[in-house]
Amino acid sequence: MRGNLLVVSNRGPFTIEENNGSLKYRPAVSGLVSAVLPAVKKIGGTWLAWAGRIAEKPAEVQAVIKDEFQFVEILLSREEVEGYYEGYANGVLWPLCHLMPEKVRMYEENYRIYREVNQKFAQKAATLLRTGTLLWIHDYHLALMPHFIRQKNPWQRIAFFWHIPFPPVELFTIQPWAEEILRGLLGADIIGFHIDDYRENFLRAVERVLKLPVNYEWGTVYYNGREVLVKAVPIGIETKNFQKEVPEITEIEQEIAGLKIFLGVERLDYTKGLKEKIQGFARFLEKNPEYRGKVKLLQVAVPTRENIDQYQTYAREVLAEAAKVNERFGDNHWQPIKILKRNYSQEELIYLYRIADALVITSLEDGLNLVAKEYIASRKEPGVLILSKRTGVARQLNAALLVNPYSPEEIALKMKEAIEMPDTLKKKSFSLLKEQVILKNNEWWLENFLGKELRLMDTGFGKYYRKRGEKKVGAID
């Protein structure tokens, strides 16, 4: 194993399933994973995460070497999954950060379990830290972890990346635990967000709630005698992963023959605006009858967080909405919407990206949205991107057809514009989009967010704290 990086996140690079005593590793599909995996492979080290397994006995923990880094699994009990993951992380922080306070379900007990699980991750991480290790913690599931590590290891270098939006302070403080969450995060030395708005919201929350002086221009906070740096650096993807040749998906080939294809690729999450997209598409068919029988909306809808009530209801509503539109406009030969309700591998997604005339993203609120970047990176021919203004990535990909996801009228208009776009214009806007995706790729993100820390780990800080005689390690070595 190379490298001296310790990555910690809730969702790891694999989900593990146990089958008759043997373990099956399945690659996990998530924005966080597609961004962090290339970085870990490049630098080397260890990734500590939950792999979806529920078990009561901590002795069963797995550690395996895969792709040249070590993966260490954290096991959670049913009670921990319910309180920490489903209860507080996805029942309070997720809806609050996505500006949906009506979806928040607050229970003191869940927060208590969230705190305990953060402690559990911190204790396990502490056993994996070596001299000079850079600890890199990810996302809203582990907001208290930097504080717990700092308490035990005051000199540890800690980076934290928050992958979802950070809401305005007025919303963030609806929950009674806002102060503790902010203090938890400030245990890190460097905190990253995708865009300036989230970074500013965080700094304002620190200023208002903790009454600490912050420097908005430099993004610095002085906290307990340390300087914490807060940065906005949007994640990038490894574009070469999306340029490979991939096989056809036969059943899809039959579905799309001779039609113009609108594609959607989302988890079945209420923040993703799937209902709004379907309603916008219905408006498009209503206003443009000449396109009936000639277009199709292929919607990948990946099941997610299925134990949470709101997700079950949302999944049902999306399917019902699609059925309504198919009933209203479809006939025996043509159904306008096809919902593909399962997990798709990267190869399958590349195939879908390539057959789509336009990718349609109508998230109501979205930290960044890497699907937009994957679509651009996968295409051999120019394609059109219809992109919600309420995604972090809209700041970078402003050559897309930007849309207000709350307006079915606008979605319908942009759909028409997309399929009628003259080739020259399509080429031009696509090349602007591609330039952004290639320039601001995964390497750019890693260098801009963590470059200095990685060099410190390798040369300055790491060397300083490395025990005498210990061998130098790390990809940057």
What are residue 383's phi and psi, to 5 degrees?
A: -135, 170
Closest CA relative to residue 184, chosen from 225, 218, 227, 141: 141
Q: Is 346 in the site for ligand F6P (CB under 6 A)?
A: no
- What's the chain's length in residues? 477
Q: Which of 4, 15, 30, 326 binds ligand F6P (CB under 6 A)?
A: 30
Q: For residue 372, what are the contacts with CB-CB under 8 A and spacing of at least 6?
A: 359, 361, 385, 387, 391, 393, 397, 400
- The site that binds ligand F6P (CB under 6 A) totals a number of residues, namely 9
Q: At 150, which helix (H) or strand (E)?
A: helix 145-152
* Closest approach of ligand F6P to the CB of residue 139, in Å: 4
Of 24-32, 152-160, 248-256, 257-265, which segment contacts ligand F6P by CB under 6 A? 24-32
Nearer to ligand F6P, 262 or 311 (CB): 311
Q: Is 164 in the site for ligand F6P (CB under 6 A)?
A: yes
- How do 337-340 and 190-193 pair as beta strands? unpaired
How many whole angstroms separate alpha carbon 12 and alpha carbon 95?
Answer: 22
Name the β-bridge partners of 158: 135
Q: Which of 82, 139, 200, 321 binds ligand F6P (CB under 6 A)?
A: 139
Count CB-CB contacts under 10 A for residue 425. 12
Q: Which residue is nearest to ligand F6P (CB)?
A: 30
* Closest approach of ligand F6P to the CB of residue 124, in Å: 19
Which bin fits 424, alpha (ψ -120 to 50), beta or left (φ > 0)? alpha
Nearer to ligand F6P, 246 or 302 (CB): 302
Strands (E), 93-203: 134-138, 157-161, 190-193
**Per-residue interface string for the shown chain with ligand F6P, residues 302-341, x marking contact by CB under 6 A:** --xx------------------------------------
Q: Which of 5, 6, 16, 32 binds ligand F6P (CB under 6 A)?
A: 32
Q: Is 11 in the site for ligand F6P (CB under 6 A)?
A: yes
Of 29-37, 69-77, 206-214, 421-429, which segment contacts ligand F6P by CB under 6 A? 29-37
* Closest approach of ligand F6P to the CB of residue 140, in Å: 7
How many whole angstroms separate alpha carbon 475 and alpha carbon 461?
Answer: 16
* Closest approach of ligand F6P to the CB of residue 33, in Å: 6
Nearer to ligand F6P, 224 or 345 (CB): 345
Nearer to ligand F6P, 306 or 435 (CB): 306
* Closest approach of ligand F6P to the CB of residue 361, in Å: 15
How many whole angstroms separate alpha carbon 461 and alpha carbon 363?
Answer: 41
Q: At 372, which helix (H) or strand (E)?
A: helix 370-378
How many whole angstroms separate alpha carbon 33 and alpha carbon 341?
Answer: 21
Q: Which of 3, 12, 13, 31 binds ligand F6P (CB under 6 A)?
A: 31
**Per-residue interface string for the shown chain with ligand F6P, residues 260-299, x marking contact by CB under 6 A:** ----------------------------------------
Buried b (16+ CB within 10 A) or exposed e, 445-463: bbebbbeebbebbbeebbe
* Closest approach of ligand F6P to the CB of residue 50, in Å: 9
Q: Is 80 in the site for ligand F6P (CB under 6 A)?
A: no
Kindly list the residues in this chain that would bind ligand F6P in the complex (CB under 6 A).
11, 30-32, 139, 163-164, 304-305
